[in-house]
């Protein structure tokens, strides 16, 4: 074990040393720091009050380096790496919550639709301060996530800090999280697409949903709902954006060598043939979902409606360190086609619509001409009755205010375009 530990440490040593490209004096200084790291580890092994496993020491050291750089970089041991692979395939165990670290606490990016966390009322922007009454302060993000996972059916008490509210506890039962990344339905005459995350099958599922919805010949347009979508795979975000674009840049990524960005471009072919498109976003829309919204906004292909998005504009690369796990490291920032970085800023919607409750008012006050005694009949009474009946069928009744506004906007754009075509 000792020999193995030394070999592993030497590997990490040379991993860092291989990136040294400074002058001779600076090089000596960096080697001195590496020597200091090695000596510190040896002191921990020999002098710490309790025996510490070599593997734990090295993993913690690497994770400490990475997590100090930014909230999204970390070391993934073999188990964590496997869990991540399972998650991107769309099925994993846990609470169903996407999180990050902020000010020492776990911050909720968004709950995943129809998961235990979602059903328990966890919201984007909530802070998790304690897990089973134990503070999360001092934990890495992966350690916190590890504590939130556990046997299916087991319960976890989560302490929530929410703006303008006293901290409160929520008990959540763990479950197998099966993510259907794309949901779709017909809202009368508008196609509704809900993408909950960007996993391996997202683009394929989105294309299939669109193909099914476009069979309706009276379709006015589409609403693409990216609210509380925490992101996922970059290539899937690019592919979904490409579905609605004919040409041009979708997104670019710039690493340390910012002079040579990697650019992703659209291929010809808009799968909805130019129909009106409204994209819904909110504070839980992050990373890959911001790429989609930003690309469609810059190309003026869609109207973005809702509230400011999360603002995660960085790209993480998984670098295997076999057989120990992998480095999850921030390697680039991404930029929208117009050159915008949304890091710590987010996507600003074209139309700001806050979340609100919708109530239908059944009673109307006052009277109309038709209520007056002796009022003349309308000569088009029969045809008007027919039209009114048709219009009542098209009326969308939903408690989702943002979605209601989006549906009305799609119909309004369609009506306007049709009037222009007639004139």
Active-site residues, by number, are: 287, 298, 312
Question: What are the residues whose beta carbons fall under 8 Å from the beta carbon of 11, sequence distance 6 or more?
Answer: 321
Spatial distance between the Cα atoms of 334 and 372, rounded to a whole number of angstroms: 64
* Element (DSSP H or E) covering residue 29: helix 24-47
- For the beta carbon of residue 280, count every other beta carbon within 10 angstroms: 27
* 336 phi, psi to nearest 5 deg: -70, 170
Pairing between β-strand 303-306 and β-strand 314-321 as defined by DSSP bridges: unpaired
- Among residues 241, 257, 240, 261, which one has the least CA distance to residue 334? 261
Spatial distance between the Cα atoms of 413 and 419, rounded to a whole number of angstroms: 10
- DSSP, residue by residue, 307-346: S------EEEEEEEETTTEEEEEEEEEEE-TTS-B-TTT-
Helix (DSSP H) and strand (DSSP E) numbers for the chain: 11, 19
Two tokens, residue 139: 């934990």
Angle at 364 between CA 361 and CA 369, to 5 degrees: 150
Spatial distance between the Cα atoms of 301 and 259, rounded to a whole number of angstroms: 28
Let me know if 98 is exposed, middle or buried by CB neighbors in 10 A (0-12, 13-18, 19+): buried
Spatial distance between the Cα atoms of 406 and 278, rounded to a whole number of angstroms: 6
Q: Return the bridge partners of 265, or none.
A: 249
Contact 288, 310 (CB under 8 A): no
Pairing between β-strand 303-306 and β-strand 351-352 as defined by DSSP bridges: parallel
Spatial distance between the Cα atoms of 118 and 126, rounded to a whole number of angstroms: 12
Dihedral over Cα of 82, 84, 89, 90: its sign: positive
Spatial distance between the Cα atoms of 287 and 311, rounded to a whole number of angstroms: 7
Spatial distance between the Cα atoms of 287 and 342, rounded to a whole number of angstroms: 9
């Amino acid at each position: 074990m000792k020999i193995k530990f030394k070999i592993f440490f030497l590997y990490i040593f040379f991993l860092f040393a291989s990136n040294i490209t400074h002058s001779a004096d600076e090089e000596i200084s960096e080697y001195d720091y590496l020597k200091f790291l090695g000596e510190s580890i040896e002191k921990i092994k020999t002098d710490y009050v309790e025996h510490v496993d070599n593997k734990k020491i090295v993993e913690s050291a690497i994770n400490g380096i990475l997590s100090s750089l930014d909230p999204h970089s970390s070391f993934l041991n073999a188990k964590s790496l496997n869990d991540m692979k399972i998650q991107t395939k769309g099925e994993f165990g846990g609470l169903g919550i996407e999180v990050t670290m902020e000010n020492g606490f776990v911050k909720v990016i968004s709950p995943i639709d129809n998961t235990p966390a979602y059903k328990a009322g966890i919201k984007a922007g909530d802070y998790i301060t304690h897990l089973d009454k134990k503070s999360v302060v001092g934990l890495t993000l992966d350690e916190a996530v590890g504590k939130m996972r556990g046997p299916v059916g087991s319960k976890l008490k989560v302490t929530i800090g929410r703006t303008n509210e006293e901290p409160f506890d929520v008990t959540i039962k763990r479950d197998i999280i099966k993510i259907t990344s794309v949901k779709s339905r017909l809202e009368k005459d508008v196609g509704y697409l809900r993408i909950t995350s960007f996993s391996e099958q997202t683009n394929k599922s989105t294309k299939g949903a669109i193909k099914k919805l476009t069979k309706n010949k009276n379709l006015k347009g589409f609403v693409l709902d990216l609210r509380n979508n925490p992101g996922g795979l970059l290539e899937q975000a690019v592919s979904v954006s490409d579905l609605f674009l004919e040409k041009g840049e979708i997104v670019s990524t710039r690493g340390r060598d910012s002079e040579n960005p990697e650019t992703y471009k659209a291929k010809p072919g808009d799968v909805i043939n130019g129909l009106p498109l409204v994209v819904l976003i909110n504070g839980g829309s992050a990373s890959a979902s911001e790429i989609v919204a930003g690309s469609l906004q810059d190309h003026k292909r869609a109207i973005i409606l809702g509230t400011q998005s999360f603002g995660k504009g960085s790209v993480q690369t998984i670098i295997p360190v076999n057989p120990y796990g992998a480095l999850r490291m921030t390697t680039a920032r991404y930029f929208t086609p117009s050159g915008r970085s949304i890091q710590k800023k987010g996507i600003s919607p074209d139309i700001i619509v806050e979340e609100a409750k919708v109530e239908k008012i059944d009673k109307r006050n006052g009277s109309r001409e038709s209520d007056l005694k002796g009022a003349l009949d309308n000569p088009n009474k029969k045809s008007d009755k027919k039209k009114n009946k048709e219009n009542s069928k098209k009326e969308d009744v939903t408690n989702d205010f943002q979605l209601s506004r989006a549906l009305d906007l799609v119909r309004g754009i369609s009506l306007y375009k049709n009037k222009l075509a007639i004139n």
